[in-house]
Amino acid sequence: MKVSVNWIKEYLDFELPPIGELVVKIGAQLGAVEEVIDLGVKYKGVVVAKVVSCEKHPNADKLHVCLIDDGGVVQDVTRNEQGLIQVVCGAPNVREGLLVAWIPPKAVVPSTYDTSDPFMLEARELRGVVSNGMLASGKELAINEDHNGILEIDVEAQPGQAFAEVYKLNDYIIDIENKMFTHRPDCFGQLGVAREIAGILGHKFTSPDWYLQPLKDVVEKSSETLPLEVRNEIPELVPRFMAVAMSGVEVKPSPIWIQSYLSRVGIRPINNVVDITNYIMMLTAQPLHAYDYDKVKAIDGGDTATLVVRKPHKGEKLTLLSGKEVEPREDAILIASATKPIGLGGVMGGADTEVDENTKNIILECANFDMYSIRRTSMAHGLFTDAVTRFNKGQSPLQNDKITAKAMQLFGELADAKQASEIIDKVSLEGNESSLSENTVHNPFSMEPKFINERIGLSLNEDEIIKLLTAVEFTAYDTEGAIHIKAPFWRTDIKIPEDVVEEVGRLYGYDKLPQELPKRITAPTQRNTLLETKAKIRNVLSRAGANEALTYSFVHGDLLEKMGQSKDLAFQLSNALSPDLQYYRLSLTPSLLEKVHPNIKAGYTDGFGLFEFGKAHIVGESDPDEPELPQEAHRLSFVYAANKGIGAAYYTARKYLTYLFNVCNVEDLIFEPLVSAGVLNDPWIEQLVAPYDPERSVLLRDEEDYIWGVLGEFKPAVRKKLKLPELTAGFELDPLLFVRRQKQVTYIPLPKFPKVMQDITLRVTADISHAKLLKLVTEYLYGNRPQHTKLDVVTKDIYQKEDDKQHKHVTFGITIVSYKKTMRDEEVTMLLDGLAEQLGSAISAIRL
């Protein structure tokens, strides 16, 4: 929102502080300032001059040689004996007696001031005649787009006067971020900002009379009436719609002061009719639209111009002022004649009924539209106009009558227009036709200062609060301990008492609030064990050389398919940015696997481990705590990959997992081969294990048969599709495992006697799983060991001879120690002999 300091000054009756101070104040109490532009510097050196004489250029048909009077103020310029200065001018409208803007030598052309290449004038010859600087066009002065002639000063001015002074161009433009005013429709007009600035500077603001009460009889009534009919078929979306026909319009450029105000707040001047509607909009935040009356009438071919406010019919099209043709969205607010669309209400007018230089009669529309509908239409069609910016904040329906009257007055004054119809006012609040009342926008409040003070930490009394609020034209007065408060009609944002608290706090100044920490109680803050566990795992895995990654929660449907997962079970976005991000993940592993190949390609070939914490979702699986929502399964996923190495990657992933279990003091789980796990029949597990190779993976199960996750290598198809190296393996599990299965420390007293260590190597058939073998070994040893001993078994080696793949040799290291005595080797030898015998008969094991 661009604010012109000079424009708002017209509504203020006190001196503003220096610009720097003002901007800080605005930032703290109104909204963040994006930019402050010093407009005055652009016009440095440009002065008012009078064309004293104007002769045809001797050597050029289209040029004139002028002598101008600058009041003698410009230094270092060649003058004739009368003190006049010679300037060559090519404009067709240059003539004796004109008051013009003269850019003398050494001054910069204002329109080039902010460009990369500012153009500084000098005295130079044009076809043999010296021109001292130039007479400027509206375009060169950055006031309008007119470059067909020089700008003719249309107000009282003296030669030698700084040009900027004439049109108040010694101005600052303060650009306040629009989003600060999301709930402040009034602040999208200079008037609203002027009021706020008065309020935060502690001055009482008074709106101009015409904004508080509609002006009456401000424009001449035409003897001939122009028939106009308005129908509002969608009162629920259009609470108020005012229209009036005006005749005898003379379309011409508007006065320079209007053009100048518009251009400095970012609006291109067009002609007096359009400029008046824009001027009113920039001043009050109420958008207006002018239709060519005769064009509207001609569409229907009758004697009456009709405006119908309705929704579009199927297939209806409309060409907008911008030239773009649209098929308005189904629920758009359409303005139509009796037969045809003529405008996208509140967004943009139609080209067919545009005001042009031949327009004689107009219809002025001043409406109030549903803010959400305007925003949707704007988004649906990609139309972001100044009207949209204002309507989508929710303008007050109580201002239309005042603004219509003010606009009519300006049309009378600046376009010679006469009122040619009744002022039609269709009011329908909350969808019902009803008359507007003072309380249409809001009801009054009665509140104690305590309510306000408690919420902002102050101790303001009634008078102080009343003073703050009345400064911005609230009605506020003391009624025995409580303050009666009513917001003015333009403040559609004030709905509840807390809104008044905000208003008081802001006007008072948040920087003056007492800063005070809340009092704490001594009860200990509860920990979040899951987060603490995650933090610990992060530390452990990163210390073990792995890298924590984050990947998107959304994946491509193709990735799910490549993994053998079911797309149907994945939540799907209806408005995904791209197919890459269309589905919520069914598990995390696929996302990490996708990162393997790019990293290998980037040169990380020696092996790396990626891990991530995240969540998985499955359609149809409800959250146990909130059954109406999908369950969110916490997951930890880890993937190891290397381009070369010996042995299977499975064991590296497994190494990481057992390391993690050990360091985090988690009870061991059963590593159950996936291939023999049977039908799982649980969508979570099915989706989780989908990419894992059943021959080379295990389920992580506890004694109660609860499955915590999966560990293993990936199916050949998955490896191929994602270009994974052979040495790729990973695991994915529920990190709650680490919370729920924390081991109790079980201390074993330290024996005083020496340990005996012996190895035993057994040759068994290759098809006996290690788990089974280990179980047989430990069961036997624990069952047959001498009393009062401590016993440990570790797998020390597994070996297969090149020429005998039918068997494997497994070496176990046995450590045994007694609490009562020094153990003899023979005792251990006996125990191991027994073991060998037992396994020999049970599984035909041979001791080596």
Partner 1 sequence: MSYQNPKVAEVADVLKRRFAELENKADILKAVELKALYAEIPTLPPEQRASFGKEINSLKQELQELVAKHQEQAEALPPIDVTAPFDVNTPIDKRPKLLPTEHGSKHPLTTEIERITDIFYRMGFEVVESREIDDEYHMFTALNFPAGHPARDDYDTFMTVQKDKNDHPLVAPAHTSTMQHRVLKAYKERLEKGEPIAIVTPDRVFRNEDLDATHEHTFHQIEGIYVDKGVHAGMLIATLKTYLNEYFGENLEVKLQPFYFPFTEPSFELAVERPAILRKDDSEEQKWLELLGCGMIHPNVLKMAGIDPEVYTGFAWGQGIERMVMMKNGIEDIRHFQSGKLEFLRQFV
Tell me if 368 sits within 8 A of 241, measured CB to CB: yes
- Between residues 644 and 821, which has the closer beta carbon with respect to partner 1? 644
Q: Smallest gap, in angstroms, from Cβ of residue 375 to partner 1?
A: 5
* DSSP one-letter string for 150-181: BPBP-S---TTSBHHHHTT-S-EEEEE-GGGG
x/- site string to partner 1, residues 806 to 835, per CB under 8 A?
A: --x---------------------------
Q: Which of 19, 155, 212, 379 binds partner 1 (CB under 8 A)?
A: 379
Per DSSP, what are the bridge partners of residue 318? 326
Nearest to 333 by CA among 283, 368, 303: 368
Q: Is 390 among the residues that bind partner 1 (CB under 8 A)?
A: no
* Binding status of residue 628 toward partner 1 by CB under 8 A: yes
Q: Which of residues 308-367 bind partner 1 (CB under 8 A)?
A: none
Give dist(CA 276, CA 251) in Å, integer.
11
Among 105, 235, 505, 735, binds partner 1 (CB under 8 A): 505
Q: Pick from 409, 726, 763, 843: which binds partner 1 (CB under 8 A)?
A: 726
The Cα–Cα gap between 125 and 77 comes to 14
List the structure tokens of 825. Answer: 């080797």
Residue of the chain from 617, 738, 789, 839 that contacts partner 1 (CB under 8 A): 617
Report, in Å, the least distance between residue 481 CB and partner 1. Answer: 17
Q: Is the dihedral of CA 345, 346, 349, 355 positive or negative?
A: positive
157 vs 456 by CB, closer to partner 1: 456
Token pair for 474: 């609230």
Please report whether residue 372 would count as binding partner 1 according to CB under 8 A: yes
Tell me which residues in 508-537 interact with partner 1 (CB under 8 A): 510-511, 513-518, 520-521, 523, 525-528, 530-531, 535
Report CA torsion sign: 50, 52, 58, 61: positive
CA 753, distance to chain mean position in Å, is 72
For residue 47, CA distances in Å to 56, 86, 140, 437 come to 24, 15, 14, 52
Residue 592 binding partner 1, by CB under 8 A: yes
Q: Which of 114, 330, 454, 779 binds partner 1 (CB under 8 A)?
A: 454
Window 392 to 451, contacts with partner 1 (CB under 8 A): 392
Query: Of 230-289, which residues contact partner 1 (CB under 8 A)?
Result: none
DSSP reduced 3-state for 49: strand
Cβ proximity to partner 1, 33 vs 157, nearer residue: 33
Cβ 491 to partner 1 shortest distance, Å: 14
Residue 798 Cβ vs partner 1, minimum distance, rounded to whole Å: 5
Residue 310 or 506: which CB sits closer to partner 1?
Answer: 506
**In contact, 836 and 830? CB cutoff 8 Å:** no
Contact with partner 1 (CB under 8 A) among 275, 352, 401, 594: 594
630 makes contact with partner 1 (CB under 8 A): yes
DSSP character string of 170-232: S-EEEEE-GGGGTT-GGGGSHHHHHHHHHHHTT------HHHHS---S-SPBPSS---EEEEE
Mention every residue, 6+ apart, whose C-beta is less than 8 A from residue 838. Answer: 776, 780
Could you tell me which stretch among 53-61, 239-247, 283-291, 640-648 binds partner 1 (CB under 8 A)?
A: 640-648
**Smallest separation, CB 308 to partner 1 (Å):** 24
| Residue 772 Cβ vs partner 1, minimum distance, rounded to whole Å | 8
CB contact at 8 A, 632 and 684: no
Number of residues that bind partner 1 (CB under 8 A): 127
52 contacts: CB under 8 Å, gap ≥ 6: 66, 67, 68, 69, 84, 96
Which of the stretches 29-37, 290-298, 345-353, 381-389 binds partner 1 when contact is defined by CB under 8 A?
29-37
- Of residues 782 through 801, those in contact with partner 1 by CB under 8 A are 795, 797-800
Two tokens at 805? Answer: 């793949």
Out of 358, 602, 681, 745, name the contact with partner 1 by CB under 8 A: 602
Contact between 77 and partner 1 per CB under 8 A? no
Residues in 158-217 that interact with partner 1 by CB under 8 A: 179-184
Which 648-677 residues touch partner 1, going by CB under 8 A? 648, 650-652, 654-656, 658-659, 671, 673-674
Q: Is 225 in the site for partner 1 (CB under 8 A)?
A: no
Three-state secondary structure call for residue 614? strand
Q: Shortest approach of partner 1 to residue 476 CB, angstroms?
A: 18
CA of residue 343 relative to chain centroid, distance: 29
Task: Select 794 or 830, whichever has its Cβ closest to partner 1.
Answer: 794
Report d(CA 587, CA 685) in Å as an integer.
10
Query: Nearer Cβ to partner 1, position 64 or 808?
Result: 808
How near is the Cβ of 655 to partner 1 at its closest, in Å? 4
Residues 101 and 87: beta-carbon distance below 8 Å: no
Task: Mark the segment that binds partner 1 (CB under 8 A) among 8-16, 258-266, 571-579, 678-686.
Answer: 571-579
| Smallest separation (angstroms) from partner 1 to the CB of 719 | 7
Query: Which residues, including other chains, have CB under 8 Å from residue 94's CB and lie 6 or more apart?
Result: 51, 54, 64, 66, 100, 135, 149, 150
Binding mask 751-780 for partner 1 (x = CB under 8 A): ------------------xxxx-x------
Structure tokens at 801: 């001879």
CA angle centred on 196, ends 193 and 201, rounded to 5°: 125
Residue 171 makes CB contacts below 8 A (sequence gap 6+) with 4, 5, 6, 7, 39, 40, 264
d(CA 88, CA 199): 51
Q: Of 216, 550, 681, 704, which lies in the binding site for partner 1, with binding defined by CB under 8 A? A: 550
From 112, 409, 553, 566, residue interacting with partner 1 (rule: CB under 8 A): 553
CB of 329 to partner 1, least distance (A): 12
Contacting residue, 713, 735, 828, 839, with partner 1 by CB under 8 A: 713
Nearer residue to partner 1 within complex by CB, 92 or 545? 545
* 537 vs 690, beta carbon nearer partner 1: 537
